[in-house]
Amino acid sequence: MVSKRFVLKRLLLLVPVLFGVATFVFAILQLAPGDPARVIVGQRASAQQVAQVRTELGLNDPVWVQYGRFLVEAAQFQFGDSYQIAKGTPVRSVLADRLPVTVELALYGQAIGILLGIPLGVLSAVKQDSLTDHATRVGALTGLSVPIYWSGPLLILLFATYLGVFPTSGRISSTTFLPDHWTLFGMELPLTGMVTVDTLLLGDLGAWFSAVHHLFLPAVTIGVYSMALISRMMRSSMLEVVRQDYMRTARAKGQGAKITVMKHGFRNALIPVVTVIGIQFGSLLGGAVLTETVFGIGGIGTMLVDAIGASDYPLVQGAVLTFALLFTLVNLGVDVTYSYLDPRIQQ
Amino acid sequence: MPSAGAVDPLAARLRLVGRALLVGTVVGLLAGVVAVSLFSPRTVRTVFALGALALGFGVLGWSGSVMAGRGIETMHRYMDTGSDWTEEKSRRAMARVGGAGAGVMVGSGLVDAVVTL
């Protein structure tokens, strides 16, 4: 049972994380070269127009006043409108459009990592020093060492260009039309923005297959690193658990090897792996930036890079804080799972 | 009741952050005065931003250590990295960095307020 006090304490930790990120982003944007007012009005605008925008944005106020105002706005998740990338569109709308793309990619990547990494790690530990173990360890080391900007194009080259079994880019077939809502008991509800979920909600299996087909290579690209790390962690953890006295006792009482490992060992070996999965999700979001670029998927990562290049400060602030919020919420979920597996952690 | 010679953890933490804050304030005041005297009055904004950078980094590092430190320690142990990184040491270091950053912001903010008024 997970105590409410534990969850509340972890939720309160959200405050310093978001405050730290907001302060960090404010500092970076203050130190960045270029004048936001000039970015908004354009290079050809007169000095008078620039000065007017500076006054409107409060850029002439003392820096500590600007900092305070920024924190208040950030706490309300108010970042105004995009300057450049989606000129005039509220940042919240832009983020709502792009976030599901990145989240979907990271979730599928993480799913691949967990579903393949955990069994491979267990297998590697149970068959220690066998050919399977060596192959898994070499595979894990390779997966950890290969960067996404290399493995992504390699997968495209092999599976898309030579074998032609997967598409090279995009999220769904260009001939597929997705409406902007789905209907439940006569009610019109908005779509989630995650194509694999939306196509299922719409009951269009052909479109769903197309979405999965398009998502497969990017998800594998991003999931390989996660799989490698999880399988290595699982192997080490399982080997440690297998040597424990209670495992030996269970075997001595006549319990079969497989049952002992799965019933007594697996849950305990899973504890350190679960703690790492949360941290891992952060690097998956970071890795999504590269994967999105390689596979031409317009997620929040690609948008963040574009926004930094175009000095679109409101978008940068919104995207970074959204990433931080997402990361902390995932870690909260991991902590709750962890405390469920090992209730002692709540003390 | 705490035994004689026992250190109150809250007092120790406050002392750690307080010292860093004090040092940061002095640095912020000096850097702010130098920035205003040698360069333009607007340069003090850069000193404030550098302080904010340290504060943001410190707070983020501190909360990151509290939130994910246990997982990172475990990962280091299981991956045989040979690292002696610990959540406690990281937390203390980040508290110092954050405190110093806040101090610089206070110091340079005071200089900016004096210059603005």
pLDDT in tens, A2-29: 678 888 888 888 899 999 999 999 998 8
Number of domains in chain B: 1
From chain A, the residues in CB contact with B36 under 8 A are none
Contact residues, chain A to chain B, C-beta under 8 Å: 10, 13, 16-17, 19-28, 30-31, 62-64, 67, 232-233, 236-237, 272, 275-276, 278-279, 328, 331, 334-335
Per-residue confidence (pLDDT) for residue A332, from 0 to 100: 83
Give the nearest chain B residue to A345 (CA atoms). Answer: B70
The answer to whether residue B15 neighbours chain A at the CB level (below 8 Å) is no
**Band (B78; pLDDT cuts 50, 70, 90):** confident
| Dist. CA A260–CA B24, nearest whole Å | 57
**Cβ atoms of residues A199 and A212 within 8 Å:** no
In a domain, B31, yes or no: yes
CB contact under 8 A, A276 and B59: no
Can you tell me the ipTM of this complex? 0.87
**Cβ atoms of residues A231 and A135 within 8 Å:** no
From chain A, the residues in CB contact with B44 under 8 A are 63
| Dist. CA A234–CA A273, nearest whole Å | 6
How many Cβ atoms sit within 10 Å of the Cβ of residue A220? 20
What is the average pLDDT score of chain B? 88
Best of A10, A15, A23 to substitute, by most chain B Cβ atoms within 10 angstroms, is: A23
State both tokens at A206: 């052909």
| Dist. CA B111–CA B44, nearest whole Å | 8
Local structure of A127: helix, strand or coil: coil
In a domain, B7, yes or no: no
Residue B25: domain span:
14-116
pLDDT in tens, A203-254: 888 889 999 999 999 999 999 988 998 998 899 889 888 888 888 888 888 8
DSSP state, A188?
E
Tell me the count of A-B CB pairs closer than 8 A: 106
Write the DSSP string, A196-237: HHHHHHTT-HHHHHHHHHHHHHHHHHHHHHHHHHHHHHHHHH
Q: What letters, b where the CB count within 10 A reaches 16 and e where it falls short, cover A19-48?
A: bbbbbbbbbbbbeeeeebbbbbbeeeeeee
From chain B, the residues in CB contact with A19 under 8 A are 59
3-state SS string for A32-101: CCCCHHHHHHCCCCCHHHHHHHHHHHCCCCCHHHHHHHHHHHHHCCCCCECCCCCCCCEHHHHHHHHHHH
Highest-pLDDT range among A79-93, A222-236, B3-17: A222-236
In a domain, B100, yes or no: yes
Q: Mean pLDDT check: name the lowest of A67-76, A236-245, A267-276, B100-109.
A: A267-276
pLDDT in tens, A120-179: 999 999 888 899 999 999 988 888 888 888 988 999 999 989 998 998 888 888 887 777
CB contact under 8 A, B60 and A20: yes
pTM: 0.81
CB contact under 8 A, B68 and A279: yes
| Dist. CA A64–CA A70, nearest whole Å | 10
Best of A7, A63, A329 to substitute, by most chain B Cβ atoms within 10 angstroms, is: A63
CATH code at A101-341: 1.10.3720.10
pLDDT in tens, A117-134: 999 999 999 888 899 999
Give the nearest chain A residue to B116 (CA atoms). Answer: A62
Residue A181 clears pLDDT 80, i.e. is over it: no
| Dist. CA B44–CA B40, nearest whole Å | 8
Per-residue confidence (pLDDT) for residue A173, from 0 to 100: 83
CB contact under 8 A, B45 and A63: yes
From chain A, the residues in CB contact with B81 under 8 A are none
Say which of A17, A67, A236 has its CB closest to residue B60: A17
**Band (B3; pLDDT cuts 50, 70, 90):** low
Number of C-alpha atoms within 13 angstroms, CB side, residue A120? Answer: 22
* Residue A113 CB-density burial (10 A; 0-12 exposed, 13-18 middle, 19+ buried): buried
**Cβ atoms of residues A27 and A313 within 8 Å:** no
**Cβ atoms of residues B44 and B105 within 8 Å:** no
In a domain, B9, yes or no: no
